[in-house]
Structure 1
């Protein structure tokens, strides 16, 4: 790969990072102070080295570690907890409150189906979030004892679990009508984040990996 091509690629990443930073600032203006404007979600297949990415996050980020029972997830969780503490990044572990307690995580991210279980842990953590995949699920979370909902799928996404996208207009309407803070998840990147930032937080996997992940640091 030629030097000029590498330079152009880095310039594209820099532009994308600036766009995400702008969207984060906009989201931060309306979210409660204890909620980070941007949430980075890990995935065993799509985030090969989340610890490296975490080392480039800032205090405007939160990190949700989704280990899905992968081998050595407790070791990875401990490493992520240490990095997040040093960088003042909110650290949540998905659907594993015991591991969250063990590592001193700030909180837990719950699947929608576990919302009743989440209530039993409400007083144990500073921050809890939950997923919502439909408008009805978002409505049912309003009194579930969580601090924010991650509503998907906001934009077209390559995720194998992605549903039909809500689209920016419908998503914004749902977020405005919600009595609790909402994060947009699904297809969030530098080009789409600004479309929802005025009414919601930003939650992403590849959209953050693209500008802060291992490849972008090479």
Structure 2
């Protein structure tokens, strides 16, 4: 693993601690840290991916961009070299073409998980979730619950769910749950004992692991 320091070390250590504590409800070895890309908020996802520690995961969301496959293939090379997993947002066909490790589904498409599992039994399948209770579709390995704290981006208009929402979702679904939204050095400590299996983020991870100006 690369030598981490400063904010990157703090976030990674917090993520690993959560993953270890949640191991009893994580039957598959899940990455402790998910870096979500965004065309606007993460304009240089390759450079951040190059600095992620072994065992982390990139969730590449191309959002229909014409260069999605080109960027995806670059990310596949980087993540393979670094021992980092790669999930593709929604586009299972792209995930198959570039030999990604799985797919992350938006909440509206979470019902596709069972069919994707049948097609690709070894894939890691995650899905977004914005409600703290209710059953989860079959086939998923984990849920990504947001926003836990007040967040930016498209989640800025949504009320924060709070740490207690993680506890409720783990209880109601039996699935591992990642915390997403408003994560930073001042908030990750509040997740201890929450049952979260790890951290997911956009801005916080880019700022901690991305290239410095």
Question: Could you tell me how far 1:115 is from its partner in structure 2?
Answer: 1.9
Of 97, 100, 103, the residue aligned with 1:102 is: 97
Of 167, 190, 194, the residue aligned with 1:173 is: 167
Any residues of structure 2 matched to 1:131-142 within 5 Å, and which? 131-136=128-133, 139-141=134-136
Unaligned runs of 5+ in 1: 1-12
Q: Secondary structure at the match of 1:118?
A: helix
Of 157, 165, 169, the residue aligned with 2:151 is: 157
Question: Could you tell me how far 1:188 is from its partner in structure 2?
Answer: 1.2
Moved over 4 A (4+): none
RMSD: 1.8
Deviating more after overlay: 171-180 vs 185-194: 171-180
* Structure with larger Rg: 1
Deviations 1:26-58 (A, max 9, x none): 122124352001100000000001011000011
Deviations 1:167-205 (A, max 9, x none): 22x234325524100001111122222222542110000
**1:36/1:59 contact within 8 Å kept:** no
Q: Secondary structure at the match of 1:134?
A: coil
- Looking at structure 2, the residues matched to 49 and 155 of structure 1 have their Cα atoms a distance apart, in angstroms, of 25
Q: TM-score, normalised by structure 2?
A: 0.87
- Between the two proteins, the alignment pairs up a number of residues equal to 200
Question: Could you tell me how far 1:70 is from its partner in structure 2?
Answer: 1.5
Aligned to 2:8: 17
Aligned to 1:183: 178
Any residues of structure 2 matched to 1:67-78 within 5 Å, and which? 67-78=62-73
Aligned to 2:111: 116
**1:24/1:60 contact within 8 Å kept:** no
Q: TM-score, normalised by structure 1?
A: 0.85
Unaligned runs of 5+ in 2: none
**1:130/1:149 contact within 8 Å kept:** yes
